[in-house]
Amino acid sequence: MQIQTTTDDHRIAKLAAFAIALHMVEAVIPSPLPGVKPGIANIVTLYVLLRYDFATAAWVSILRVFASSLLLGQFLSPTFALSLSGALLSLGVLWLTMRLPRRYFGAVTLSILAAFAHIAGQLMVVRLWLIPHASVSYLIPIFAVAALFFGLINGLITAKLLYNKESNIVLNKSGMPPL
Amino acid sequence: MLKSLRSARSIFRYLLPGDLLTVILSMVAITYLFQTLWSHQHASKVQIRLGDKIHATYDLNLQRDVHVHGPLGDAVIHISQGKVRFAKSPCHNQYCVHQGWLTHAGQVAICLPNQISLELIGEQKPYDSLNY
Amino acid sequence: MRKGFAGLLLIAIIASVLFSLRAYNKEPLYHSQSYVFGTLVDISIYGESEQRAKSLSNQVLQDFQRLNNQLHAWKPVNNNQPSELGALNAAFAAGKQPIAISPQLADMLVNTTALSVKSHGMFNPAIGHLIGTWGFQRDEFSAVVINDEKIKALVKSKPRMTDIVITNNTVYSNNPNVKLDLGGYAKGYALDMAAHYLRQQKVKNALINIGGNIIAIGQHGNKPWRVGIQHPRKPAAIATLDLADGWAIGTSGDYQRYFILNGKRYCHIIDPRNGYPVQHTQAVTVLIPPQPGAGVLSDVASKPIFIAPAADKAKAAANIGIQYFMVIAQQPISQRSNGQQPNAEQSNILVSPALAKKLDWLDSDVKNNSHVKVLTLR
């Protein structure tokens, strides 16, 4: 019995593989502060969201979380919980933010807000389960700064990629590819 | 150097007006977070006084039980998860034990009969002295 | 390469200068904490050498010790001799034979009598017997068996400060049931005494805390002294405020000395009119502007306001000349306007407008107005 796969499935698989690869690369690079990472794999999620649709992006994101944790030997570990909670919350926020007018709000907004949601999800898991210490709240502003910074960068990179990809398509007035 | 500047400028044209708004609002939110969360005088140590001398100072991040021998007897002080409290005291009224956990800098618990006081120390004290 | 090196050197120099400045920034603040006669005395002196501050502080503590020896309401001192006050009380109980006392004690009696009259008898240091019956004339308090009969009898005997007759430093009492307990006065007196001494010694800046009552001299360097007000039910300050030169602050609370019997709290502040501990109020704070006897007022004035029922608290404050006060009650106090319907605003905390302006609320419950609100009087 063979499962019939569609082109969509192939696309998702390819993009998810790319996201996983980026995640692995990032896992190898040490970060100055625990928990603060550029999150470059999120560029893929964002790109997919803007180029295709939410469902595809959700698949790519969740597949990335599960597969990378399996590959890194972190499946069902606290790290996995952090990854998953961050991913779920940021997907939720992306679904909401998608509804903003595309003319004014581009990849950068989506990226920044998703980044905030990501750290919020992670901090909740930390505070409630991993480190129930009063001083966790002192980390919140620091993570927020990282979220803004990396969210901005990832958003700009995503926007540039989208523009380059669609360079042979007529651009709309704001210089963004029509959607 | 000039080339990288030029490409940096070019990437910022992907910033739509709404995006700029998002960035600005985020910065406002972050300032607010710093103000509320970091103003809560972070306590890092507890200073235990016995009589008129400073008995000891302990880091709040190390979980431990401290025994202090006062004129009335042995008191036990719990330090745990960044907080401190009187756990056991030989005094009659147990007011000190009832004070519960101290969590922020400047907070004080005193066992008057046994002459032991606990004070949380942080970067700044919210006040010079406590009226009670 | 050379330019970079110069830059690094400059940074290194600036950093080391800043670092060394930090060492000089240690402020000249001396702080001592001691237990004298079961009271915590906290002295901060700013701007004096550590040696001088230490000797000044020791003198203040010694003076306080001597005062306690003189005035202790129940503890015998020095070879089991009663304190001067103890001897006086014994003489009162024995009859109308005049007994000689020190001019200082005579002054105190005159002062407390005047305050008692001003407060319409709600500040009444003559009810020592009642205080003793409730078990508060001991070092530790536990629940007592409440003897209604005895309490009624003691109230009926009406011990009053005006029963005491003073002439030329000799004194007797017309009422043998007068037993003096200066617990609600001595700390304030000690505060005035300490402030006077330090000022005489040309101390420019100090903060003296005796058992929770505080008086300020000068400032904390280039900013005013800042004091916190204890939350009656949490180990934290409910609010903070600046205490400028000469100002004093005092609080009477049901959390300072009390016992619990059958789930009810009995505190050490007794209503002289019915002989029972006050149950409707948790704490009263009074702020006293600079004046002679500010310390005494900070101690005495909170009691009548504490004892008065909710509707009369403002009047009690006015009687004793208090403009800055705060009441934290057990139950929400409803604002009544002209005896009509209480309006929707209810709060445990009542603050006079003058004091409300000075307070910085710390407590998150109060700040978020979740179940307590601040009412200001008209």
Do B127 and C250 count as a contact with CB atoms less than 8 A apart?
A: no
Portion of chain A with pLDDT greater than 70, in percent? 88
Q: For residue C124, tell me if it sits in a domain.
A: yes
Q: Please check whether residue C225 touches B, CB under 8 A.
A: yes
pLDDT at C106: 94
Query: Does pLDDT of C103 surpass 60?
Result: yes
Q: Please check whether residue B18 touches A, CB under 8 A.
A: yes
Q: For residue C15, tell me if it sits in a domain.
A: no
Reported as a single tens digit per residue, the pLDDT across C192-228 is: 999 999 999 999 999 999 999 999 999 999 899 999 9
Q: Which helix (H) or strand (E) holds C241?
A: strand C237-243
Reported as a single tens digit per residue, the pLDDT across A55-66 is: 999 999 999 999
Do C228 and B127 count as a contact with CB atoms less than 8 A apart?
A: yes
Query: Does pLDDT of C163 surpass 80?
Result: yes
Reported as a single tens digit per residue, the pLDDT across C241-281 is: 999 999 999 999 999 899 998 889 999 999 999 999 999 99
Question: Which residue do the tokens 């005579």 mark?
Answer: C106
Cα C350 to its chain centre, rounded Å, is 19
Q: Which helix (H) or strand (E) holds B120?
A: strand B116-122
Query: Does pLDDT of C189 surpass 80?
Result: yes
Query: Does pLDDT of C374 surpass 90?
Result: no
Cα C163 to its chain centre, rounded Å, is 26
pLDDT tier at C15, thresholds 50, 70, 90: low
Rounded to two decimals, the ipTM of the complex is 0.86
- Which residue in chain B has the smallest CA separation from C253? B132
Question: Which residue do the tokens 């507890």 mark?
Answer: B46
Cα–Cα distance, B87 to B64 (Å, whole number)? 12
Cα A100 to its chain centre, rounded Å, is 18
| Pairing, β C342-351 against β C324-336 | antiparallel
pLDDT at C338: 41
CB-hemisphere CA count at 13 Å for A65? 24
Cα–Cα distance, A126 to C88 (Å, whole number)? 66
Cα–Cα distance, A145 to C119 (Å, whole number)? 59
Query: Does pLDDT of B32 surpass 50?
Result: yes
Question: Which residue do the tokens 């304190």 mark?
Answer: C83
Cα–Cα distance, C195 to C189 (Å, whole number)? 10
pLDDT, average across residues C129-134: 93
**How many Å is the maximal CA-CA distance in chain B?**
78
Q: What is the mean pLDDT of chain A?
A: 84
Q: Please check whether residue B107 touches C, CB under 8 A.
A: yes
Reported as a single tens digit per residue, the pLDDT across C141-150 is: 788 888 899 9
Least confident of A131-140, B4-13, C143-152, C257-266: B4-13
Q: What is the DSSP string of B95-113?
A: HHHHT--B-STT-EEEETT
Query: Does pLDDT of C346 surpass 60?
Result: no
Cα–Cα distance, B115 to C325 (Å, whole number)? 31
| For chain B, counts of helices (H) and of strands (E) | 3, 8
Strand partners, C127: C179
What are the residue ranges of helices labelled H in chain C?
2-24, 50-71, 84-94, 103-118, 128-133, 148-156, 183-200, 294-300, 302-307, 313-319, 353-356, 364-367
CB pairs under 8 A between A and B: 82
- Which residue in chain A has the smallest CA separation from B17? A104
Q: For residue C149, tell me if it sits in a domain.
A: yes
Domain extent, residue C80, equals: 73-183
- Which chains neighbour A (Cβ–Cβ under 8 Å, 3 or more pairs)? B
Least confident of B81-90, C8-17, C96-105: C8-17
Q: For residue C84, tell me if it sits in a domain.
A: yes
Cα A67 to its chain centre, rounded Å, is 15
Do C34 and B113 count as a contact with CB atoms less than 8 A apart?
A: no
Q: How far is B114 from chain A (nearest CA, A)?
A: 29
Cα C44 to its chain centre, rounded Å, is 17
Cα–Cα distance, C369 to C202 (Å, whole number)? 45
pLDDT at C182: 93
Helix, strand, coil shares of chain A, percent, nearest 5, are 70, 0, 30
What class does CATH assign to B43-122? mainly beta
Cα–Cα distance, C162 to C170 (Å, whole number)? 15
Domain ranges for chain B: 2-39, 43-122
Kindly state the DSSP code that residue B126 receives in the 8-state scheme: S
Residue C165 and residue C173 in contact, taking contact as beta carbons nearer than 8 Å: yes
Tell which residue, B45, B77, B50, has the closest CA to residue B64: B77
Domains of chain A: 8-165 (1.10.1760)
B37 CB neighbours in chain C (<8 A) are: none
Cα–Cα distance, A17 to A23 (Å, whole number)? 10
pLDDT at C139: 77
Reported as a single tens digit per residue, the pLDDT across A75-95 is: 888 889 989 999 999 999 999
Query: Does pLDDT of C343 surpass 50?
Result: no
Do B37 and A137 count as a contact with CB atoms less than 8 A apart?
A: yes
Q: How far is B32 from chain C (nearest CA, A)?
A: 17
Any idea what the Cα angle at residue C94 is, between residues C92 and C99, rounded to 5°?
A: 55
Q: How far is B17 from chain C (nearest CA, A)?
A: 35
Q: How far is A27 from chain B (nearest CA, A)?
A: 27
pLDDT at C4: 52
Question: For residue C172, how many other CB atoms are within 10 A of its CB?
Answer: 18
Least confident of C74-83, C280-289, C341-350: C341-350
Reported as a single tens digit per residue, the pLDDT across B96-121 is: 999 899 988 888 899 988 999 999 98
Tell which residue, B29, B34, B40, B43, has the closest CA to residue A140: B34
Question: Which residue do the tokens 């005997």 mark?
Answer: C157
Do C250 and B131 count as a contact with CB atoms less than 8 A apart?
A: yes
Q: For residue C153, tell me if it sits in a domain.
A: yes
| Pairing, β C324-336 against β B116-122 | unpaired
Q: For residue C66, tell me if it sits in a domain.
A: no
Cα–Cα distance, C359 to C326 (Å, whole number)? 10
Kindly state the DSSP code that residue C25 receives in the 8-state scheme: T
Partner B, chain A 26-55, Cβ-Cβ below 8 Å: none
pLDDT, average across residues B49-77: 91
CB pairs under 8 A between B and C: 90
pLDDT at C54: 95
Residue C164: which CATH number? 1.10.3980.10
**How many Å is the maximal CA-CA distance in chain A?**
55
Phi-psi region of B124 (alpha: psi -120 to 50; beta: other; left: phi over 0): beta
Which of B49, B99, B121, B128 to substitute to test the interface with C, most C CBs within 10 Å?
B128
Cα–Cα distance, C93 to C173 (Å, whole number)? 8
Which of C22, C29, C30, C33 to substitute to test the interface with B, most B CBs within 10 Å?
C33
pLDDT, average across residues A106-111: 91
Tokens representing C344? 């929707």
Portion of chain C with pLDDT greater than 90, in percent? 65
pLDDT, average across residues C340-358: 71
pLDDT, average across residues C309-329: 92
pLDDT at C117: 96
Reported as a single tens digit per residue, the pLDDT across A42-54 is: 999 999 998 888 9
Q: For residue C93, tell me if it sits in a domain.
A: yes
Question: Which residue do the tokens 């057990």 mark?
Answer: C330
